[in-house]
Amino acid sequence: MPELKNKNQKIDNKKIIISFLILIILILGIISFFKLTNKNNISLEVYVPTPEASMNIGEVGLMEEGETLDVVNPDALENPVRPLDMPTPRDIFHTSGVITAIQANSVIIKGIGTNFDDQKKRDLTVVIDENTTVSGVKGDLKYFKQNLKIGDEIAIEAPYNIHGKTEFLAKYINIIEE
Protein backbone atom coordinates (compact mmCIF):
# COMPACT_ATOMS: atom_id res chain seq x y z
CA MET A 1 0.00 0.00 0.00
CA PRO A 2 2.77 2.49 0.53
CA GLU A 3 3.37 2.43 -3.21
CA LEU A 4 -0.26 3.43 -3.92
CA LYS A 5 -0.09 6.45 -1.58
CA ASN A 6 3.06 7.61 -3.28
CA LYS A 7 1.38 7.39 -6.71
CA ASN A 8 -1.73 9.27 -5.54
CA GLN A 9 0.45 11.89 -3.91
CA LYS A 10 2.36 12.38 -7.19
CA ILE A 11 -0.93 12.74 -9.10
CA ASP A 12 -2.22 15.27 -6.53
CA ASN A 13 1.04 17.25 -6.76
CA LYS A 14 0.75 17.33 -10.58
CA LYS A 15 -2.86 18.54 -10.33
CA ILE A 16 -1.87 21.29 -7.90
CA ILE A 17 1.04 22.43 -10.10
CA ILE A 18 -1.12 22.41 -13.26
CA SER A 19 -3.92 24.30 -11.48
CA PHE A 20 -1.41 26.84 -10.17
CA LEU A 21 0.09 27.35 -13.67
CA ILE A 22 -3.38 27.80 -15.19
CA LEU A 23 -4.21 30.35 -12.50
CA ILE A 24 -0.98 32.31 -13.20
CA ILE A 25 -1.65 32.28 -16.95
CA LEU A 26 -5.21 33.57 -16.37
CA ILE A 27 -3.97 36.38 -14.11
CA LEU A 28 -1.29 37.39 -16.64
CA GLY A 29 -3.91 37.33 -19.42
CA ILE A 30 -6.25 39.58 -17.42
CA ILE A 31 -3.42 42.02 -16.62
CA SER A 32 -2.40 42.12 -20.30
CA PHE A 33 -5.98 42.74 -21.34
CA PHE A 34 -6.34 45.70 -18.97
CA LYS A 35 -3.01 47.18 -20.05
CA LEU A 36 -4.03 46.97 -23.71
CA THR A 37 -7.43 48.51 -23.06
CA ASN A 38 -6.28 51.23 -20.67
CA LYS A 39 -9.29 53.49 -20.06
CA ASN A 40 -7.10 56.55 -19.29
CA ASN A 41 -5.92 56.90 -22.88
CA ILE A 42 -9.33 57.29 -24.47
CA SER A 43 -9.53 60.44 -26.57
CA LEU A 44 -12.83 61.60 -27.96
CA GLU A 45 -13.02 64.28 -30.60
CA VAL A 46 -16.19 66.23 -29.92
CA TYR A 47 -17.58 68.51 -32.59
CA VAL A 48 -18.17 71.95 -31.19
CA PRO A 49 -19.69 74.37 -33.68
CA THR A 50 -17.90 77.67 -34.12
CA PRO A 51 -19.88 80.43 -32.43
CA GLU A 52 -21.55 82.69 -35.00
CA ALA A 53 -20.01 85.80 -33.39
CA SER A 54 -16.48 84.54 -34.10
CA MET A 55 -17.29 84.48 -37.82
CA ASN A 56 -18.04 88.22 -37.81
CA ILE A 57 -15.56 90.66 -39.32
CA GLY A 58 -13.38 92.55 -36.83
CA GLU A 59 -13.21 96.33 -36.61
CA VAL A 60 -9.52 96.92 -37.40
CA GLY A 61 -8.43 98.07 -40.84
CA LEU A 62 -11.90 98.48 -42.31
CA MET A 63 -12.23 101.19 -44.93
CA GLU A 64 -15.21 103.53 -44.90
CA GLU A 65 -17.35 103.71 -47.98
CA GLY A 66 -15.72 106.03 -50.48
CA GLU A 67 -12.20 105.62 -49.02
CA THR A 68 -9.58 104.35 -51.42
CA LEU A 69 -6.42 102.41 -50.81
CA ASP A 70 -4.23 105.15 -52.28
CA VAL A 71 -5.45 107.55 -49.56
CA VAL A 72 -5.61 105.12 -46.61
CA ASN A 73 -2.38 103.19 -47.35
CA PRO A 74 -0.30 104.49 -50.27
CA ASP A 75 2.39 101.86 -49.56
CA ALA A 76 -0.09 99.16 -50.58
CA LEU A 77 -0.04 100.50 -54.14
CA GLU A 78 3.68 99.72 -54.43
CA ASN A 79 3.64 96.42 -52.49
CA PRO A 80 0.07 95.06 -52.43
CA VAL A 81 -0.65 91.85 -50.52
CA ARG A 82 -3.31 90.94 -53.09
CA PRO A 83 -4.17 92.31 -56.53
CA LEU A 84 -5.48 95.86 -56.24
CA ASP A 85 -8.66 95.11 -58.18
CA MET A 86 -9.49 92.13 -55.93
CA PRO A 87 -11.64 92.93 -52.88
CA THR A 88 -10.70 91.55 -49.47
CA PRO A 89 -12.51 88.25 -48.85
CA ARG A 90 -15.18 88.39 -46.17
CA ASP A 91 -13.86 85.27 -44.42
CA ILE A 92 -10.11 84.93 -43.77
CA PHE A 93 -8.66 82.02 -41.83
CA HIS A 94 -4.94 82.28 -42.69
CA THR A 95 -2.20 84.83 -42.28
CA SER A 96 1.54 84.96 -41.80
CA GLY A 97 4.21 87.16 -40.32
CA VAL A 98 7.49 87.38 -38.45
CA ILE A 99 7.61 86.70 -34.69
CA THR A 100 8.58 89.84 -32.73
CA ALA A 101 7.85 88.56 -29.19
CA ILE A 102 7.03 85.32 -27.38
CA GLN A 103 4.73 85.41 -24.35
CA ALA A 104 3.39 82.77 -21.95
CA ASN A 105 0.67 81.44 -24.26
CA SER A 106 0.97 83.61 -27.34
CA VAL A 107 3.32 85.08 -29.90
CA ILE A 108 3.31 88.59 -31.30
CA ILE A 109 3.93 88.76 -35.03
CA LYS A 110 4.35 91.56 -37.52
CA GLY A 111 1.45 90.64 -39.79
CA ILE A 112 1.72 91.19 -43.54
CA GLY A 113 -1.70 92.86 -43.82
CA THR A 114 -3.63 90.16 -45.67
CA ASN A 115 -6.48 90.08 -43.16
CA PHE A 116 -7.20 93.83 -43.31
CA ASP A 117 -9.03 95.85 -45.95
CA ASP A 118 -6.43 98.63 -45.80
CA GLN A 119 -3.55 96.07 -46.19
CA LYS A 120 -1.52 97.75 -43.39
CA LYS A 121 1.07 95.64 -41.61
CA ARG A 122 0.10 95.36 -37.94
CA ASP A 123 1.22 93.58 -34.81
CA LEU A 124 -0.96 90.53 -34.26
CA THR A 125 -1.33 88.55 -31.03
CA VAL A 126 -1.60 84.86 -31.88
CA VAL A 127 -2.90 82.87 -28.89
CA ILE A 128 -1.76 79.26 -28.47
CA ASP A 129 -3.70 76.73 -26.38
CA GLU A 130 -3.91 72.95 -25.87
CA ASN A 131 -5.68 72.53 -29.22
CA THR A 132 -3.04 74.41 -31.24
CA THR A 133 -0.70 72.38 -33.41
CA VAL A 134 2.78 73.92 -33.75
CA SER A 135 4.90 72.38 -36.52
CA GLY A 136 2.98 69.11 -36.26
CA VAL A 137 2.95 68.85 -32.43
CA LYS A 138 -0.44 69.41 -30.79
CA GLY A 139 -0.98 71.10 -27.44
CA ASP A 140 2.58 71.18 -26.07
CA LEU A 141 3.37 74.69 -24.79
CA LYS A 142 6.95 73.66 -23.89
CA TYR A 143 7.50 72.53 -27.48
CA PHE A 144 6.15 75.80 -28.83
CA LYS A 145 8.47 77.85 -26.60
CA GLN A 146 11.49 75.73 -27.54
CA ASN A 147 10.89 75.77 -31.28
CA LEU A 148 9.46 79.19 -32.08
CA LYS A 149 12.03 81.98 -31.99
CA ILE A 150 11.94 85.72 -32.48
CA GLY A 151 12.61 86.36 -36.16
CA ASP A 152 10.94 83.14 -37.39
CA GLU A 153 8.45 83.61 -40.21
CA ILE A 154 5.31 81.61 -39.48
CA ALA A 155 2.07 80.73 -41.23
CA ILE A 156 -1.06 80.62 -39.07
CA GLU A 157 -4.48 79.05 -39.53
CA ALA A 158 -7.27 80.09 -37.19
CA PRO A 159 -10.41 78.09 -36.34
CA TYR A 160 -12.59 81.13 -37.08
CA ASN A 161 -12.71 84.27 -39.20
CA ILE A 162 -9.75 86.64 -38.48
CA HIS A 163 -10.73 89.36 -40.98
CA GLY A 164 -10.10 92.67 -39.22
CA LYS A 165 -8.87 91.08 -35.95
CA THR A 166 -5.51 91.73 -34.29
CA GLU A 167 -5.82 89.03 -31.64
CA PHE A 168 -6.99 85.51 -32.34
CA LEU A 169 -6.51 81.87 -31.44
CA ALA A 170 -4.30 79.73 -33.68
CA LYS A 171 -5.36 76.25 -34.77
CA TYR A 172 -2.14 75.52 -36.71
CA ILE A 173 1.23 77.28 -36.75
CA ASN A 174 4.01 76.28 -39.12
CA ILE A 175 7.47 77.77 -39.44
CA ILE A 176 8.10 78.91 -43.00
CA GLU A 177 11.46 77.54 -44.09
CA GLU A 178 13.45 79.57 -46.59
pLDDT in tens, 2-50: 555 566 666 678 888 888 899 999 999 888 887 777 655 555 555 556 6
pLDDT, mean of residues 53-82: 77
pLDDT above 90 coverage of the chain, percent: 25
3-state SS assignment for residue 11: helix
Q: What is the CA radius of gyration of the chain?
A: 31
Average pLDDT, the chain: 81
Q: Cα angle vertex 101, ends 95, 102, to 5°?
A: 95
Residue (of 153, 115, 110, 109) closest to 128 by Cα position: 109
Rounded to an integer, what distance in angstroms lies between the CA atom of residue 163 and that of residue 56?
Answer: 8
- Element (H or E) spanning 22, and its range? helix 2-36
Hey, which residues does 123 pair with through a beta bridge?
110
